[in-house]
Structure 1
Amino acid sequence: MPLDIFSLIGFVGTACIIGAYAYLTIKDEPNPYILHATNLTGAALLTISLLVHTNWPSLVLEGFWAAIAIFGLVKAMRARSAAK
């Protein structure tokens, strides 16, 4: 089966999530904006792919992944505001 555009979008999303995890592992003090924004982007791209090639457990996982990333971004913004 040839890869369609939605599968390619999903692969880019996968690369984002793997890249974010590698970044978290490699950096001693990772930037939370880079980490969570990359995870959110990956979850969004994978969701696009999963809406076409439906896999319900994976779609639910991406929903939680996105929610956690949004929580992390909000937490980072609040911390930055409190520091000012």
Structure 2
Amino acid sequence: MQLDWAALVGFVGTACIIGAYFYLTASEKPNPLILHGTNLAGAALLTVSLLVHTNWPSLVLEGFWAAIAIWGLWKALRARKNAP
């Protein structure tokens, strides 16, 4: 079975999310911009794949995943702005 472009994009998104989780687990003090940015990129790529190969529960999950990543980025940027 050959994979189409949407499945390949989904695999890259999966790699981003797994990589972000590994980074969080392996780092003593993870950079929240890297962590949440990578999660957001992964969610976006998986969403593209899921819009072609629709799986509604997974699509809803990616929506929440992206929203949490955006919130994390917002918090990190706000903390950076307020840092001395």
Q: Report Cα offsets for 1:11-39 as digits up to 9, x if no partner.
A: 00000000000000000100000000000
1:35 aligns with 2:35: yes
Instruction: Give the structure 1 partner of residue 49 of structure 2.
Output: 49
1:78 aligns with 2:78: yes
Cα displacement (A) at 1:72: 0.2
Structure 1 unaligned regions, length at least 5: none
Cα displacement (A) at 1:49: 0.1
- C-alpha RMSD of the superposition: 0.6
Instruction: Give the structure 1 partner of residue 2 of structure 2.
Output: 2
After superposing the two structures, state which structure 1 stretch, 17-26 or 1-10, moved more: 1-10
Moved over 3 A (4+): none
Cα displacement (A) at 1:2: 1.6
TM-score normalized by the length of structure 2: 0.98
TM-score normalized by the length of structure 1: 0.98
Query: What SS does the corresponding residue of 2:30 show, helix, strand or coil?
Result: coil
Q: Report Cα offsets for 1:18-71 as digits up to 9, x if no partner.
A: 000000000010000000000000000000000000000000000000000000
Query: What SS does the corresponding residue of 1:18 show, helix, strand or coil?
Result: helix
